[in-house]
Amino acid sequence: MRWRGRRGSANIIDRRGRGGRRGGGMRVAGAGGLGGFGLIAVLLIGWFFGIDVTPFLGGGGGTVVTSEPAGPARPLSEAERAEGEFVSVVLADTEEVWADLFARQVDGAYDPAQLVLYSEVTSSPCGGASGATGPFYCPADERIYLDTAFFTTLEERMGAQDDFAAAYVVAHEVAHHVQGELGTLAEANALRRHVSEAESNAISVRLELQADCYSGIWARAANERFGTLERGDVEEAIDAARRIGDDYLQRRAGRVPAPHTFTHGTSEQRARWFRQGWETGDLRACDTFGAASL
C-alpha cells in the first residue's frame, strides 16, 4: 500500500504514551509484538465477542495529531510514531473518499469521525477499551478506538500480512461511522433491543457485513483517487476478512462453529461482501438488510 508522504487527518486524538508502555509495531515500522499466548487467546475471544459489539450495547503532508491530557506522558517509540502516522493517513483517505461518495451517492454532507489512539487501556462512553476488545466504533461520541499494537497481532498471530490489512481494519470501523451518518446504526440498534439474543446477533451480522462492503467501496475509491493499492493489496484485505470470520475464530478457539452465536459473519461472507463493495463501488450494492441471503 502506498501511503508515505501523504497528508494525515486532523481527527486523531493520541492518548498513547500516557500509561503502560507497549512495544512492537506493524511491518511499516519494524517487528515486535505482544507476549504470551494467553493474551492472544483473550484477543481472539475479544474479536469474536467484543469488536463493535460493545458499542451496540451502549447508548505530503505530515500527520496532525492532538492529545488529551491523561497523566504523565512517556516518549513514543519509533514503531508507535510510524503506526500513528499510518493510521492518520488512512483516516484522511477515508475522509476524502466518503465526503465525495456522500456528495455523489447520498446527496448530503459527510461528517467524519474522530479516532482515538491508545496504549493498552482507555475509557470511552461505550465502556472500557483494551487490547482484548480490539478496535471498535462508539456511536455515543462518534469516535473509533484503536490500540495500534493490534496490528502486530493481526500480522503475527492471525496471519494477516502487510499494511493494507491494517488499513482494512481502520476502514471497517470508519464504515460503522458511515452507518451512523446514514441512520442505519441507530435503527438497527433500536430493533436489537426488542428481539431475542439470536435475532440480535443476526442483526449484528448484517451490520458487520455491510461495514465490510463499505470497506470495499472505500478501497476502490481510494485507489482511484490516490493510487493507493499495490499488487496483492485487495487479496490481503480479503484474507484479513476471512481470518476474522466467526466460524474461523471459533474453530481457532477449539470450538465447533455455532451459527446462532455469530455476530460478524462467516469468513466466506465477510470476504464476499468486501469484494461486493470493491467490485461495484455503489452503496446500494451493500444493502445487507434487504438481501434475501447473506
| Contact indicator for 173, 52 with CB cutoff of 8 Å | yes
Q: Is residue 3 part of a domain?
A: no
Q: Is residue 60 part of a domain?
A: yes
How crowded is residue 187: how many other Cβ atoms within 10 Å of its Cβ?
13
Structural domain that includes position 242? 12-286
pLDDT tens digits for range 143-173: 999 987 887 776 665 554 568 888 988 999 9
Q: Is residue 116 part of a domain?
A: yes
How does pLDDT run along the chain (294 residues), one tens digit per residue?
778 778 899 999 999 876 543 333 333 333 222 223 233 333 444 444 444 333 333 333 444 444 454 455 678 888 888 889 999 999 999 999 999 999 999 999 999 999 999 988 888 998 887 766 778 999 999 999 998 788 777 666 555 456 888 898 899 999 999 999 999 999 999 999 999 999 999 999 999 999 999 999 999 999 999 988 888 888 888 888 888 888 888 898 899 999 899 999 999 999 999 999 999 999 999 999 999 899
Q: Is residue 36 part of a domain?
A: yes
Q: Is residue 20 part of a domain?
A: yes
Which residues does 197 contact at the CB level (< 8 Å), separation at least 6?
none
Q: Cα–Cα distance between 280 and 251 in angstroms, integer?
A: 32
Q: Is residue 1 part of a domain?
A: no
The stretches of 5-58 forming alpha helices (DSSP H) are: 37-49, 54-57
- Is pTM beyond 0.85? Reply is no
**What single-letter amino acid sits at 194?**
H
Residues 241/244/247/249 CA torsion (nearest 10 deg)? 160
Q: Is residue 293 part of a domain?
A: no
The stretches of the chain forming alpha helices (DSSP H) are: 37-49, 54-57, 78-101, 150-156, 163-182, 184-192, 197-226, 233-243, 246-252, 267-280
Instruction: State the cell numbers at 196.
Output: 431475542
Q: Is residue 170 part of a domain?
A: yes
Which residues does 187 contact at the CB level (< 8 Å), separation at least 6?
none
Q: How far apart are the first and last CA of the chain?
A: 29
DSSP string computed for 202-229: HHHHHHHHHHHHHHHHHHHHHHHHH---
Q: Can you state the angle between helices 78-101 and 197-226, rounded to 10 degrees?
A: 90
State how many domains the chain has: 1
- Per the DSSP assignment, residues forming a β-bridge with 12 are 65, 115
